[in-house]
Amino acid sequence: MSTINKENSDNQFLTFYVADDMYALSVSYIEEIIEYSIVTRVPLMPKCISGITNIRGNVIPVIDLGIRLGLSNTQSINKRTSIIVIKKKDDIKDFQVGLIVDEVHKVYNIFTKEQENTPTFGSKIRKEFIEHIGKVDGQFIPILNSSTLINVEELSQVSDAKEI
């Protein structure tokens, strides 16, 4: 388990791998990173929702990021698989959501001048999931948009085994 230092976090982004590709998420959204643990499946949920897990007495939904981004069809768990716990707000209250990633990499400072707008083509994932493209050490890293990624209305629809 690891906690994130949120002081001066405006330009800090946690990078991680999903289906062999690196992505980033602002540390301002991240509560903690935990080792993958038991996730209990919930019937009739969209395929990308792996289920729920208990973190220190709090039951939180867990989303498989590879499936949510459309990069894989099945969940693959290995010894480096982690759950990134993020805090989300909706109109009613704050809540936590876990994101399953293949491997957590590291935190980078990516300043505004090192961020580009999302390209209109050429991405493996839906454009609205990407907030910006960050440039780090000559490499372009998609910075994910937590608001569209964790769209409560879209994710809370009961499914009959269909994929979202």
Instruction: Tokens for 54, please give them.
Output: 């208990």
> What average pLDDT does the structure give for the chain?
84
- In the prediction, which pLDDT does 30 show? 95
Backbone angles phi, psi at 154, to 5 degrees: -70, -45
Q: Please check the confidence at residue 132 and state whether its pLDDT lies above 60.
A: yes
Fold of the CATH domain 2-155: OB fold (Dihydrolipoamide Acetyltransferase, E2P) (2.40.50)
pLDDT tens digit string along 79-115?
A: 999 999 998 876 667 789 999 999 999 999 999 888 8
Q: How many distinct helices (H) and strands (E) make up the chain?
A: 3, 12
Interatomic CA distance for residues 123 and 150, integer angstroms: 19
Contacts of 101 (CB under 8 A, 6+ apart): 16, 17, 18, 65, 81, 82, 83, 84
* Domain residue ranges in the chain: 2-155
pTM above 0.85, yes or no: no
15-53 pLDDT, tens digit each: 999 999 999 999 999 999 999 988 999 888 888 899 999
d(C-alpha 112, C-alpha 20), whole Å: 26
